[in-house]
Structure 1
Amino acid sequence: MILKRFIVVVVLIFTVVACKKINGPKKPKNLISKDKMVDILIDAKLITTANSKNKIIMRDAGLDFKTYVYEKHNIDSLQFALSNDYYAFHMEEYEEIYTRLADSLLELKEELKTIEAEEWKEKTKREADSLNQLLEENKKNKDSLGLENLIKKDSLVEDNAFFEESVEELESLLEPISDSLFQ
């Protein structure tokens, strides 16, 4: 019985001592700063979410997706992995990085919407200007498409009285057929 208690106490002491030594990964010598980490993650996110058409364009331009982010930020995959592990263990810092990442992506999205809205306004303005120019040219050329003949009244329409009389005569000749005749 005493031996069992002794073993339990020794196991508890080793467990406490072992847990104290869990500090997580050591801070790497070449730790990527939080600001740079945000920039790296933004670029990585943009590349991974690019549609297939954009990926084809990037591939044709000689861009290697796997190494682009590393080359752009002048880092290597080991440095990124060690820094990512370090920040992932220290959740407060990692959460700060991801909050800034999300905010930056939202800002980029809003900027893109603004640019697209400006382009759409410019396109519709050009279309409206082209339409106005065409209308002005038509007024100057006095209906170069020959639409003035369509606007004038047709000669048959002027003889509308004759047409109405003919319809009345035909209606008077027709007598309604009742169902009683067929019974």
Structure 2
Amino acid sequence: MLKHLGIILVLGILLIACDNLDKPKKPDNLIPKAQMTELLYDVYMVNAAKGVNRKTLELHGIIPQDYILSKHNIDSLQFAESNTYYSFETDVYKSIVDKVKARLEKEKEEYEAIRIEESENKQKQNDSLREKAKKQKDSIKRLINKKGFVGG
């Protein structure tokens, strides 16, 4: 019983603490939802690239955050304010993130299909080369048998 009371007390304190959070006002230079979707897509892509090819980015002097901000012609403050605003508009932010996720999943499927097709083409090419090598070996055997050469 005391344990349940403690849990209820903690949840009550959290609820009161969260209730005191003030929703930020809409920034004057709020990034439109469509642009925010594109921007977050780029953030996810660049973060993935950093995880895979950090050295390549460094060699080319690419600073991911600067690249994204300049690509979308915004500054870090505008992004931070817009991101904060949208994070309090949970339905809107969820729809933005869902669009980004759907785009990433669609592109993943497309790239996976390309990877599979390339793999199949490479397998066909390898099979063709093996068949060609086998035919060449067989023709050499026939030539040897025809000329009466004995291997050994």
Identity of aligned residues (%): 33
What is the TM-score normalised by the length of structure 2? 0.72
- 1:29, distance to aligned residue in structure 2 (A): 2.3
Query: Structure 1: where are the runs of 5+ without partners?
Result: 1-18, 151-183
- Counterpart in the other structure of 1:110: 109
- The answer to whether the 8 A contact 2:25-2:85 is kept is yes
- Indicate the residue corresponding to 2:130 in structure 1: 131
For residues 112-150 of structure 1, the C-alpha deviation after alignment (integer angstroms, 9 at most, x for no partner) is: 211211211121111111111111111222279xxx859
Q: Distance in 2 between matches of 1:88 and 1:100?
A: 15
Q: Which residue of 1 aligns with 2:141?
A: 142
Pair 127,75 (structure 1): closer, same or farther in 2 beyond 3 Å:
same
Q: Which has the higher contact order (CA 8 A, sep 6+)?
A: 2
After superposing on structure 2, the runs of 4+ consecutive aligned residues of structure 1 that deviate more than 6 Å are none
Measured against aligned partners, the alpha-carbon deviations of 1:74-95 in whole angstroms (never above 9, x if no partner) come to 2111111111111111111111
Flag the structure with higher helix content: 2
Q: Does 1:81 align with 2:80?
A: yes
- Residues 1:29 and 2:31 are matched in the alignment: no
Correspondences of 1:1-183 after superposition (within 5 Å): 24-50=23-49, 52-142=51-141
Q: Which letter maps to 1:90?
A: E
TM-score (norm 1): 0.61
Give, in whole Å, the separation in 2 of the partners of 1:53 and 1:94. 27
Distance in 1 separating the partners of 2:105 and 2:142: 52
Distance 1:134 1:78 in 2: 64
- Indicate how the Cα distance of structure 1 residues 85 and 53 shifts in structure 2: closer, same or farther if over 3 A, else same: closer
